Amino acid sequence: MSRSAIFLIVVAAFLILFFPFFVIQWIGFAVALVVIASFGYAISLDSGLQISRDAMDLTAYQLQTVDVEIKIKNSSFLPMPYLVVTDNPGSLYTGHENSRLISLRPREETSLRYHIRGMNRGAYRIGPITVRFSDPLGLFPVSRSIPEETRLIVYPRIHPVALPVHRGLPAGSITTSSRIYEDPTRYRSVREYVPGDEIRKINWKASARLGVLHSTEWLPTINVPVLIMLNLTAEDYLQRNRFAHTERTIDAAASNVNHLAERGQEVGLITTGVIKGFEDEPMPWIGVGSGAPHAVGILETLAQLVPNPRPADSVEVFLDRGRVSFGTRVFYMGPPLQPESVAALTSGIGDRSLVRLYYTDEGVRNWTELAVETMHIWRITEFGDELFTLQA
């Protein structure tokens, strides 16, 4: 209730109670009637205002723009002279487009649309929504908060990845022209039998139905699962530019996940980082799997990771999880490992050729001293679109 409404109520009561003249009392009753009508008008608008969001969950990559839409409806039979709708974007950048002043006719619908840019990766809450309106005379202004919230996940920045293969099998589900790599789990077609086909390839059902021998063909692919081992122990990074270097390492891990998922590759994640806001919870671990939903789950985890302030040895954390399945490649990403840690890692995996070392460039490393015999080392660059360079 505004001060004007209180003043009018006092004036009306004074005229009715202390002036025994019909005309003056009639004026007092008229003023009281206006106040009561305005109060009923405000209640009707309040009960008829409907606010909802177009989408409950939003996703975006870092520096990408996302559209946010709020649906507004005046379901009352009275017009709404003015309505101010303001959405709370938290720390997200909106360019001051998250507020709008509108007027609505009876039963009219409209929407508030604005853009959000995720400058930094993470999980954000957008909302609640604040509305302000009143009756036509402004006697009973209403301001309330509507608990309509949405969740925005800003993924790490994705860079193009092009990794050279120097020995062994490449990581990923690789299509090849050589028939010796046919994958019996990936059906291709049935064709007529050609002398020299293996007996196991003969499709007896098709041969019996068609009266001629037919052989089954499978897609020639090589599939090598990958487990990304992400070191986000804060004390393992130099204090100088620690934030920038951990962010770059997370971007590198996300780019690798995206690169492998696009190739239909099985990928998993183990990290010493922790989820922001849940630092006391166990460190995240996602098993090796395939498919877009699985990759999205890893990207969502990477979006919410922060460096672990507690001491945590990444190799010990990896070994505590048990042995990985046969043939799984392990991509270590983080600060350079000590020689004994590299030895423990390769010993736990059982095959040095299955380990790839991606060391974060912190600007002060002597890369010639980091060389590991019979193993290549990739450098995660400090900046630029080229994430990896081969060092040794």
> Same structural domain for residues 265 and 380?
yes
| CB-based contact 364:382 (threshold 8 Å) | no
| CB-based contact 319:348 (threshold 8 Å) | yes
Q: What is the pLDDT of residue 153?
A: 94
> Same structural domain for residues 300 and 340?
yes
Residue 126, token pair as written in the block:
């957008």
> Same structural domain for residues 146 and 76?
yes
> Same structural domain for residues 256 and 353?
yes
Q: How far apart are CA 373 and CA 360, in angstroms?
A: 19
Residue labelled with tokens 């499978």? 218
Give which of 366, 357, 390, 158 is closest to 253, Cα–Cα. 158
> Same structural domain for residues 108 and 244?
no
Q: How far apart are CA 147 and CA 127, in angstroms?
A: 7
Low-confidence winner among 185-194, 211-220, 331-340 (lowest mean pLDDT): 185-194
Residue 305, token pair as written in the block:
């990771």
Residue-range definition of the domain harbouring residue 212: 182-221
Pairing of strands 377-380, 355-360: parallel
What mean pLDDT do residues 249-271 have?
A: 91
Give which of 129, 132, 30 is closest to 89, Cα–Cα. 129
Q: What is the pLDDT of residue 199?
A: 77
Q: State yes or no: pLDDT of 179 exceeds 80.
A: no
Q: How far apart are CA 134 and CA 82, in angstroms?
A: 7
> Same structural domain for residues 323 and 190?
no
Q: What is the pLDDT of residue 201?
A: 77
Q: Indicate whether 165 belongs to any domain.
A: no
- pLDDT tier at 49, thresholds 50, 70, 90: very high
Radius of gyration of the chain (CA): 33
Q: How far apart are CA 66 and CA 93, in angstroms?
A: 11
Other CB atoms within 10 A of residue 92 CB: 20
Q: State yes or no: pLDDT of 355 exceeds 70.
A: yes
> Same structural domain for residues 309 and 209?
no
What's the pTM value of the predicted model, to 2 decimals? 0.76
Q: Which residues, listed in sequence order, are joined to residue 87 by a DSSP beta bridge?
A: 129
Q: How far apart are CA 69 and CA 120, in angstroms?
A: 21
Mean confidence (pLDDT) of the chain: 84
Q: How far apart are CA 171 and CA 376, in angstroms?
A: 14
Q: Indicate whether 205 belongs to any domain.
A: yes
Q: State yes or no: pLDDT of 173 exceeds 70.
A: no
Pairing of strands 182-192, 80-87: unpaired
Query: 294: which DSSP letter?
Result: H
Q: What is the pLDDT of residue 154?
A: 94
- Who wins on pLDDT, 344 or 24? 344
Q: How far apart are CA 264 and CA 222, in angstroms?
A: 11
> Same structural domain for residues 330 and 380?
yes
Report the CATH number at residue 280: 3.40.50
- pLDDT tier at 169, thresholds 50, 70, 90: very low
Q: Which of 137, 155, 173 is the last residue of a domain?
A: 155
Q: State yes or no: pLDDT of 181 exceeds 90.
A: no
Q: Which residues are within 8 A (CB) of 21 and not within 5 positions of it... i.e. 6 or more apart?
A: none
> Same structural domain for residues 265 and 386?
yes
> Same structural domain for residues 228 and 371?
yes
Query: 283: which DSSP letter?
Result: P
> Same structural domain for residues 145 and 91?
yes
Q: What is the pLDDT of residue 219?
A: 54
Q: How far apart are CA 287 and CA 298, in angstroms?
A: 10
| CB-based contact 147:127 (threshold 8 Å) | yes
Q: Which residues, listed in sequence order, are joined to residue 228 by a DSSP beta bridge?
A: 269, 331
Q: How far apart are CA 312 and CA 199, in angstroms?
A: 53
Give which of 142, 1, 24 is closest to 9, Cα–Cα. 1
| CB-based contact 259:361 (threshold 8 Å) | no
Structurally, how many domains does the chain consist of? 4
* Alpha-carbon distances of 128 from 57, 144, 274, rounded to whole Å: 14, 10, 27
Decide: helix, strand or coil at residue 243: helix
Residue labelled with tokens 């608008």? 45
Query: 19: which DSSP letter?
Result: -
CA-CA-CA-CA torsion sign (55, 56, 60, 65): positive
124's enclosing H/E stretch is: strand 122-126
> Same structural domain for residues 60 and 193?
no
Q: Indicate whether 147 belongs to any domain.
A: yes
